[in-house]
Chains A and B, each alone.
Chain A
Amino acid sequence: MTRMSDDVMDAVENSELKQIRDIDIDDVLDYVHRDLKKLPDYEQLYRRYLRQRWDVYDLDFTQDVRDWSEGMSQEERDSFVAISAGFHHGERQVEVELPVFMLGGSEESKIYMSSQIEDEARHTVFFDRFYREVVKMPGATVQEVLDSSFAHVSETFVGPFGLLAYQADDLRRDPEDEAARVRYGTTYFLWIEGVLALSVMKITLSYCRNRGFLPGYYTGFTATCRDEARHVQGGMRFLRDAVQNDPRMLTEIHDTLRTILAINGATSRRIALEALGWSPEEVRRLMIRQLRMKLTDVGISLPPDIQEMVNRIEPELAGG
């Protein structure tokens, strides 16, 4: 990773929604990782949220509609929907499953988590608007649009998001159960947000930038990625603190990763990522890199069996 210049960092940190369109997704991804070694506290993250919050209804999809119908090929549209549909449902999933996590932890954590719940709700509306206004998925309600897009959701997403749903139910029995919180946090903050979300962002936003398509999507999803920087940093802080407070929590992280990596790669359909400018091997390397950067930066070590599973990560976003 290259070291960000102060100017670039300032641009990512402080841009208004209209200016975000000019920011390169790679700079936002660098921004996600920039603070991982020192990790801001929950109050700092909450303050940043208040500065960076954006209005999803300010996005203009007029040009996206033209690009979708006139500029993009059918193969590009199919691949784009296939890879982004998971996060149409994923944003809804993390929105509805996060409140139970907010019930535990410190008061600062609870205040910060309230902002993350709002972020996730806004991201759900972002995808709802994109699928409704640009992709033209049928449906009068948020649920009906979700129903329309589920056919495109790969097992890649069903596994981890389903796991999160059941872990949330586990946590609901005792929201202060630290081991249950760590297992939940590993799935949510480390894998779903730290690996899957950032990989989908990199793939779809690089495509938009390189081809000059979908400026509304690029703007909204880049702003979403900047929000994810807070989520990933807050989540990694939670996991790091949990292990520092009780080293036995490392076992919970490892056990969760064993499950996540065991179900990785079991996808039933192939997505033609080449249409978006990516090869399966590039996606595989991207996912491994995203995972290793989080683990290394917050000092989470892995035993040999999980190291081996990481090496065998399938390019699941590419469909096998």
Chain B
Amino acid sequence: MPAVTETAVEFFGPEWAERARAAVDAGPDAALRETKLPTYWGWIDNVRATYGESWALGVTDLPGGPRYLKLSWRDGECHAAEITGPDVDADYVLSGPLAVWRDLLDGDDPGRIVMYRRLRLSSGNVLRFFRGIYFFVESLAAVARVPATLP
């Protein structure tokens, strides 16, 4: 059966937010899991199992001001997504300019985006955030795989 290609939707629009939530909630498919060691996914699965925090992922220079994709986790399930801004309340607020998001959606390694601090943490405890860092990195990768039309 041929692969179904998702149509691109408006970046930081409500449909994109829901697709992003579904993508991070679904986690990696079997083909993607094959590309990395089982112990790596095991580490992520272990973090995710009880995860109950929220992330606000922001783009700082959209027309009209900053906007955030807020993803809320409860017992390992990503149960809610909303687009909000310019104010946001989440356990961890990370944001960057559109250029960073463009690079991310174009395939830049999300681990490197984090390692080079291209998304800055403006709110939230750094040490607590990093205890789930690879779970976050792979979730960011899932968000980046959702086709989107950028401004």
A interface vs B, CB < 8 Å?
A: 89, 93, 150, 153, 155, 157-159, 161-163, 165-170, 183, 255-256, 258-259, 262-263, 265-270, 319-320
Residues of B within 8 A of A256 (CB): 127
- CB–CB B129/A166 < 8 A: yes
Across-interface contacts of B43 in A (CB, < 8 A): 265-266
Q: CB-CB < 8 A to A93: which residues of B?
A: 115
Q: Which residue of A lies closest to B117 (CB)?
A: A165
Any A CB within 8 A of the CB of B145: no
Distance A252 CA – B104 CA, assembled complex (angstroms) = 33
Most chain B CB within 10 A, of A170, A183, A266, A267, is at A266
Cross-chain contact of B133 among A159, A169, A269 (Cβ < 8 A): A159
Please report the C-alpha to C-alpha distance between residue A169 and residue B95 in the assembled complex, in whole angstroms: 13
Contact partner, B126, options A161, A163, A258, A265, Cβ 8 Å:
A163
Q: Closest CB-CB distance, B7 to chain A, in whole Å?
A: 30
**Closest residue on chain B to residue A166 by CB atoms:** B126
Q: How far is the CA of A255 from the CA of B117 in the complex (A)?
A: 21
Q: Least Cβ distance of A250 to chain B in Å?
A: 15
Band of interface residues on B: 20 to 34
Let me know if B134 and A266 touch, CB within 8 A.
yes
Instruction: From B44, B117, B120, name the one whose CB has the most chain A CB atoms within 10 angstroms.
Output: B117
Q: Decide if B66 is an interface residue (CB 8 Å cutoff).
A: no
Q: Is the CB of B37 within 8 A of A263?
A: no
With a cutoff of 8 Å between Cβ atoms, the chain A residues found around residue B126 in the complex are 163, 166-167, 170, 183
The 24 sampled A-B contact pairs (Cβ below 8 Å) are: A150-B109, A150-B112, A155-B40, A158-B111, A158-B112, A158-B114, A158-B115, A159-B133, A162-B111, A163-B127, A163-B133, A165-B115, A166-B121, A256-B127, A259-B127, A259-B128, A263-B131, A265-B43, A266-B40, A267-B37, A267-B39, A269-B37, A270-B37, A320-B39
B137 (CB) vs chain A CBs: closest residue: A158
- B88 to chain A minimum Cβ distance, whole angstroms, is 18
- Whether B121 lies near A183 (C-beta < 8 A) is no
Task: Give the distance to chain B from A170, nearest Cβ to Cβ, in Å.
Answer: 5
Contacts of B133 in A (CB 8 A): 158-159, 162-163, 263
Taking CB atoms, residues of chain B closer than 8 Å to A89 are 115
Q: 8 Å CB contacts to A: which residues of B40-70?
A: 40, 43-44
A268 near B114 (CB under 8 angstroms)? no
**B→A interface (CB under 8 Å):** 36-37, 39-40, 43-44, 109, 111-112, 114-117, 120-121, 126-131, 133-134, 137
In the bound complex, CA of A169 to CA of B119 (Å)? 11
Closest chain B residue to A90 by CB distance? B115
Task: Give the residue of B37, B117, B137 whose beta carbon is less than 8 angstroms from that of A169.
Answer: B117
Cβ contacts under 8 Å, A158 to chain B = 111-112, 114-115, 133, 137
Which residues from B are CB-within-8-Å of A265? 39, 43
Q: For A263, what are the chain B residues with a Cβ–Cβ distance below 8 Å?
A: 130-131, 133-134
CB-CB < 8 A to B128: which residues of A?
259
In the complex with contacts A183-B127, A263-B130, A266-B134, A162-B40 CB distance below 8 A: no
Q: How many Å from the CB of A158 to the closest CB on chain B?
A: 4
Question: In the complex, which residues of chain B have a beta carbon less than 8 angstroms from the beta carbon of A262?
Answer: 131
Q: Is the CB of A268 within 8 A of B37?
A: yes
Least CB distance from B17 to A in Å reads 25
**Bound Cα distance A89, B111 (Å):** 13
Residues of A within 8 A of B115 (CB): 89, 93, 157-158, 161-162, 165
Q: Give CA–CA (A262, B44) in the complex, Å.
A: 11
Q: State whether A319 touches B37 (Cβ < 8 A).
A: yes
Query: Which residue in chain A gives the minimum CB-CB distance to B40?
Result: A268
Q: How far is the CA of A265 from the CA of B129 in the complex (A)?
A: 17
CB distance from A211 to the nearest CB of B (A): 28
CA distance in complex: A255, B82 (Å): 32
Looking at the assembled complex, report how far the CB atom of A298 sits from the nearest CB atom of chain B, in whole angstroms: 21
| Given A153-B112, A166-B117, 8 further pairs, Cβ under 8 A | A163-B133, A166-B121, A166-B126, A256-B127, A259-B131, A265-B39, A266-B134, A268-B40
Residues of the A chain whose Cβ atoms lie less than 8 Å from the Cβ of B36? 268-269
CA of A170 to CA of B128 in the docked complex: distance in angstroms?
13
Query: How far apart are the CA atoms of A166 and B117 in the complex, in Å?
Result: 7
Which residues of A sit under 8 angstroms from B131, Cβ to Cβ?
Answer: 258-259, 262-263
Contact call A166/B130, Cβ cutoff below 8 A = yes
> Is the Cβ of A159 less than 8 Å from the Cβ of B37?
no
